[in-house]
């Protein structure tokens, strides 16, 4: 039985429910992991091949290749950032983005 003191204590700071966030996060991460179980991880190979293609045209530093992934429910985004060396005026990062629905 709750006393009136407990009533004030429990209503002082209502917390947003977090269980739904847990369920949603699990559904996304598990969906991706279950696919991964039956199929080899293609990301290392994809990266190697992409870098090899770019290297055919420009001398690039393999250490300056950044790969970012954001797994989503309906769509994942893979962003591969390759820093291209070159004359100062045109130097900079060229960004190749591939959105992959998986």
Identify whether the C-beta of residue 58 lies closer than 8 Å to the C-beta of residue 84.
Answer: yes
What are residue 98's DSSP bridge partners?
Answer: 78
**Cα–Cα dist 8/100, whole Å:** 50
Binding mask 51-90 for other proteins (x = CB under 8 A): -----------xx-xxxxxxxx------------------
Is residue 35 a contact point for other proteins (CB under 8 A)?
no
Q: To the nearest whole angstrom, how small is the minimum distance from the Cβ of residue 17 to other proteins?
A: 9
Cα distances from 80 to residues 15, 19, 22, 39, 65, in angstroms, run: 38, 33, 29, 22, 7
Q: 12 or 56: whose CB is closer to other proteins?
A: 12
**Cα–Cα dist 80/69, whole Å:** 9
Kindly state the number of chain residues that form the binding site for other proteins, as judged by CB under 8 A. Answer: 33
Residue ranges in contact with other proteins by CB under 8 A: 1-6, 13, 15, 18-19, 21-22, 25, 28-29, 33, 36-37, 41, 43-44, 47-48, 62-63, 65-72
């Amino acid at each position: 039985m709750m006393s009136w003191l407990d009533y004030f204590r429990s209503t002082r700071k209502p917390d947003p429910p977090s269980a739904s966030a847990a369920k949603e996060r699990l559904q996304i991460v598990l969906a991706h992991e279950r696919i991964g179980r039956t199929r080899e991880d293609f990301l290392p190979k994809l990266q190697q091949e992409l870098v090899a293609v770019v290297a055919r045209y420009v001398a690039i530093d393999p250490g300056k290749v950044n790969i970012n992934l954001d797994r989503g429910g309906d769509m994942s985004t893979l962003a591969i950032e390759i820093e291209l060396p070159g004359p100062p005026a045109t130097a900079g990062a060229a960004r190749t983005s591939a959105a992959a629905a998986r």
